[in-house]
Amino acid sequence: KGKRAFIAGIADDNGYGWAIAKSLAAAGAEILVGTWVPALNIFETSLRRGKFDESRVLPDGSLMEITKVYPLDAVYDSPEDVPEDVKTNKRYAGSSNWTVKEAAESVKQDFGTIDILVHSLANGPEVSKPLLETSRHGYLAALSASSYSYVSLLKHFIPIMNPGGSSISLTYIASERIIPGYGGGMSSAKAALESDTRVLAFEAGRKHKIRVNTISAGPLRSRAAKAIGFIDMMIDYSLANAPLQKELSAEEVGNTAAFLASPLASAITGAVIYVDNGLNAMGVGV
Ligand code: NAD
């Protein structure tokens, strides 16, 4: 029987989420997507108008089908948490049931269960500020959108995940090594995400037989990465210094996610898996 995946954090065809969806679809999974509410309209319109058709092509020539797109804002767990100004905001008012709890309920109503949960989202409003200049508000916002959002997603989706299921998030080496420019508490958020991966692997493994891993990905020119401002430099640095001197493709991360979600990885949980052309192993640039 085919597996069903819910991938949170796709709003165009340039990011890791899209590539993961494609690799999972190529392996036969049914694809459900959670899209950030303010980006939902343009994403659905572009999908419908065929703007992504070229990037929907799978290795066998068929087009990836997205069964359903759900609105999602992963910084809110349930309707009680949504402030009035967001509720009435024009970009939110047109959608409904987009808190994490409601999204999980909608998926349950529509499909019953899922097998694979992917968290491919992050946000840090002060990412361009050094940590020393980051406000408390900016720091906590980075943790809320990039780290707790994963705890919340797993918490609310676990009840509808089949035993043997697999959950994957995306992290970045700035959690453990100094990457100047990855500021605003985003390095802290990734450190939390990686630590939580271990604790959640224990809890979800013992209670529900679900595996929890995170992929530490190398640099990709996604929309989110371009907003940080130093992505071209990071890609050049990797090209110059990594053991494998080639540009990293999103597909390589997608394929690793498909492996981690499959029975081939049945003994892997609580792990940080590097998909970065080996850059993490270098001690010095050469
Ligand atoms: P992306 O722009 O494709 O994905 C980020 C997504 O998060 C966007 O679709 C955005 O709409 C969504 N999002 C933001 N706030 C949200 C919220 N509150 N609720 C729901 N969705 C929200 O960019 P990406 O670089 O592919 O990012 C995916 C993941 O990969 C992130 O965790 C990122 O930190 C990680 N990552 C990226 C790189 C890189 O170089 N691009 C490297 C390592 C790790």
- Residue 184 CA to residue 110 CA, distance in Å, equals 38
Mutate to test the pocket of ligand 1, among 187, 222, 280 (most ligand atoms within 8 A of CB): 222
Residue nearest to atom 15 of ligand 1 (CA): 123
Reported ipTM: the value is 0.99
- The model's pTM is 0.98
Measured in angstroms, how far is the CA atom of residue 122 from the centroid of ligand 1? 5
pLDDT digits (tens, 9 = 90+) for 95-150: 999 999 999 999 999 999 999 999 999 999 999 999 999 999 999 999 999 999 99
Predicted local distance difference test score (pLDDT) of residue 96: 95
Residue 169 bridge partners (DSSP): 119, 214
* Helices then strands, each counted (H, E), the chain: 11, 7
- Residue 23 CA to residue 252 CA, distance in Å, equals 9
Measured in angstroms, how far is the CA atom of residue 1 from the centroid of ligand 1? 30
- Residue 101 CA to residue 16 CA, distance in Å, equals 24
Task: Provide the terminal-to-terminal Cα distance of the chain, rounded to the nearest Å.
Answer: 49
pLDDT digits (tens, 9 = 90+) for 164-216: 999 999 999 999 999 999 999 999 999 999 999 999 999 999 999 999 999 99
Look-up: residue for tokens 């008012």? 93
Residue 250 has pLDDT above 90, yes or no: yes
pLDDT digits (tens, 9 = 90+) for 17-49: 999 999 999 999 999 999 999 999 999 999 999
* Residue 33 DSSP class: E
Residue 141 near ligand 1, beta carbon < 6 Å: no
Between vectors from CA 276 to CA 274 and to CA 281, what angle results, nearest 5°?
70
